């Protein structure tokens, strides 16, 4: 009994002292009609000057098995509308180029919004392009996305800890990358 208490006590101490950054952020998982979505909120919200409200961006991966194929979509929701100067028209949608830092690599990434300009999909024209981008995201502990919230004029950056997403991704066969 004393050994069990000692083990439980040391486990509780380890959890209390463990750096939170190593645990990863909570991953929200939804599954509906064969579509699984894994999403992570940014580490910190950003404030909107005109309303005083805080908004928290979300980065997600949507997986769906279609027949024998598995398709992926990478989504980004900044929590509000991004400045209109950053959009370019593309058919019935708008595209947006955002700077991302993936690990130590800074790169422009193209995203497209089909309706509300508050949620964007990564533009990988083919599944292999999306898989390549997804593998880059899952190979690093953190990524950052730079954007300018509407009506603020002040660029901001959202950082996502993806270690929890990496672990959760492996639990879902419908998200397998073949």
Give the tens place of pLDDT for each residue, 53-68.
Answer: 788 999 999 999 888 8
Global pTM exceeds 0.75: yes
- DSSP element (H, E) containing 112: strand 105-113
Count other C-beta atoms under 10 Å from residue 127's C-beta. 15
Burial of 89 (0-12, 13-18, 19+ CB in 10 A): exposed
45, 79 contact by CB (below 8 A) = yes
Which residues are CB-contacts of 119 (< 8 A; sequence separation ≥ 6)?
Answer: 75, 76, 77, 113
Q: Which of 13, 43, 18, 15 is nearest to 141 (CA)?
A: 43
Closest CA to 39 of 51, 50, 30: 30
pLDDT of residue 106: 95
- Look-up of token digits 């790169």: 107
Whole-number Å distance between alpha carbons of 127 and 55: 31
Q: Where do the structural domains in the chain lie, given as residue ranges?
A: 24-175
The span from the CA of 96 to the CA of 109, in Å, is: 8
CB atoms within 10 A of CB 123: 18
> What is the tens place of the pLDDT at every residue in 13-22?
333 333 344 4
Read off the pLDDT of residues 140-157 as tens digits, 9 standing for 90 and up: 999 999 988 776 777 888
Instruction: List Cα–Cα distances, 41 to 11, 13, 45, 47, in angstroms.
Output: 27, 27, 9, 15
- Residue 31: pLDDT over 60: yes
pLDDT (0 to 100) of residue 61: 93
Q: What is the pLDDT of residues 67-81, one digit of tens each?
A: 888 889 999 988 877
Residues in the chain, overall count? 178
**Across-strand partners of 46?**
55
């Amino acid at each position: 009994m004393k050994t069990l208490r000692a083990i439980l006590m040391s486990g509780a101490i380890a959890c209390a002292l463990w750096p939170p950054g190593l645990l990863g952020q909570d991953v929200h998982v939804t599954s509906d009609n064969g579509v699984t979505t894994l999403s992570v909120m940014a580490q910190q919200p950003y404030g909107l000057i005109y309303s005083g409200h805080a908004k928290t961006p979300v980065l997600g991966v949507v997986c769906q098995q279609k027949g024998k194929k598995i398709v992926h979509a990478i989504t980004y929701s900044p929590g509000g509308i991004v400045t209109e100067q950053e959009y370019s028209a593309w058919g019935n949608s708008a595209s947006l180029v955002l700077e991302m830092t993936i690990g130590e690599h800074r790169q422009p990434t193209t995203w497209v919004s089909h309706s509300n300009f508050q949620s964007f999909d990564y533009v990988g024209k083919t599944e292999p392009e999306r898989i390549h981008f997804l593998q880059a995201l899952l190979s690093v502990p953190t990524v950052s996305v730079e954007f300018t919230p509407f009506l603020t004029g002040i660029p901001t950056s959202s950082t996502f800890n993806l270690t929890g997403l990496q672990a959760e991704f492996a639990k879902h066969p419908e998200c397998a990358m073949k």
